[in-house]
Amino acid sequence: MTGRRRRAHGEGSVYEQRPGVWAAVIDLGWIDGKRKRKYVYAKSEAEAVRKRDELRRQLQLGVDLTAQPRTVEAWLTEWLRDVKAHDGTRPSTLARYRLAVTKHLVPGLGRVKLDRLTPREVQRFLTGLRGTLAPASIIKVHAVLRVALADAERMDLVARNVAKAAKPPALGRVERRALTPEEAKQLLSVLTGDRLESLFVLALATGLRRAELLGLRWSDVDLPGKALFVRQTVQRTDRGLEFVPPKTHRSSRPLPLSALAVRALEAQRVRQAKERLAAGELWSDFGLVFASTIGTPMEPRNVNRRFEQLRAVAGLDWLHLHDLR
């Protein structure tokens, strides 16, 4: 080849394409009836050899070198649309994935070539989130990237999951304070007579999650047997409020009810009967224990908002709804 120095370096050749530009090529074999080759370029022969050897390593690991180059943004978009939207991921989890992708991962790493992403770049990205996000939120963003790259590795789009090598910030241990007997009495006193009194009392008595309480149906409650089952939850998704299966396997066994919990449920049945009578034809019967004034599922954020108002009255500004668990 005139004007080019071609040398064999194991499998695949390296040659000077033009002064100052070296090329390396490896043969990928016959694919779809055509001979496929992969080229890389460098400023020196040694660098071309290194890049060629890296291609060979990726090929041995099963990476599809014929795939069209993707940016991190392109892969994350494809991953959400074609993988996570169809693999049984919970709607609420999928919504959190989308938020992490659109608000943090795409702005921070979206332009990087997927197969060129390095642990150092991921680490620099995570470090850059400090000061704008809490450590717990950074850990969640890192987890989304790690899951997305795990699927890319599984599909032979990358040689390894570089997010595994990066370290998110340490999550400091937070001591959760429990209500003292006096504080519990003060809270119960403030709850008395409130429309959501029974919901908050049941949360305190059973430790159920907000989503589990809002998805609870009368058919899941056995008052004579003093037990209930958790068989569905209510969550806000991109499509609105939806009933989804619970995170745990509580549905397979009854949850015992204390006398306090039984009284709360009995009071809720009376309260709801009055609301149902007042709503008349507007009532939508979802069979929910805790529903809106017309029987439909309750907005989870409104439940939290009301609890925050009541805790303030009780002088317990530090208390969160999930602290009742």
Condensed to tens digits (0 to 9), the pLDDT of residues 273-322 reads 999 999 999 999 999 999 999 999 999 999 999 999 999 998 888 888 88
207-247 tens-digit pLDDT: 899 999 999 999 999 999 999 999 999 988 777 888 888 87
174 in a structural domain: no
317 shares a domain with 192: yes
List, in sequence order, the alpha helices (H) in 169-245.
Answer: 181-191, 197-206, 210-215
Q: Does the pLDDT of residue 176 top 70, yes or no?
A: no
The confidence score (pLDDT) of residue 172 equals: 62
Selected residue with higher pLDDT from 87 and 204: 204
The confidence score (pLDDT) of residue 252 equals: 65
Residue found under tokens 């991190």? 72
67 in a structural domain: no
290 shares a domain with 261: yes
The confidence score (pLDDT) of residue 293 equals: 95
253-274 tens-digit pLDDT: 789 999 999 999 999 999 999 9
The confidence score (pLDDT) of residue 50 equals: 84
The residues near 30 (Cβ < 8 Å, ≥ 6 apart) are: 36
Average pLDDT, the chain: 86
Residue found under tokens 């009995």? 266
Selected residue with higher pLDDT from 62 and 255: 255
126 shares a domain with 94: yes
113, 131, 165 - which closes a domain: 165
Distance CA 162, CA 142 (A): 11
The confidence score (pLDDT) of residue 122 equals: 95
Q: Does the pLDDT of residue 59 top 90, yes or no?
A: no
Token pair for 303 = 């439940």
Q: Does the pLDDT of residue 2 top 60, yes or no?
A: no
The confidence score (pLDDT) of residue 248 equals: 63
Question: What's the CA angle centered on 257, arms 224 and 283, to 5 degrees?
Answer: 70
1 in a structural domain: no
Domain with residue 250: its CATH number is: 1.10.443.10
Least confident of 8-17, 113-122, 167-176, 197-206: 8-17
176 in a structural domain: no
171 in a structural domain: no
**Among 92, 214, 76, which Cα is nearest to 150's?**
76
286 shares a domain with 237: yes
19 in a structural domain: yes
Band of pLDDT at residue 10, cut at 50, 70 and 90: very low
8 in a structural domain: no
94 shares a domain with 22: no
Token pair for 249 = 């396997």
24, 40, 61 - which closes a domain: 61
109, 139, 165 - which closes a domain: 165
The parent domain of residue 288 ranges over 181-323
Number of structural domains the chain divides into: 3
290 in a structural domain: yes
Residue percentage of the chain with pLDDT more than 70: 89
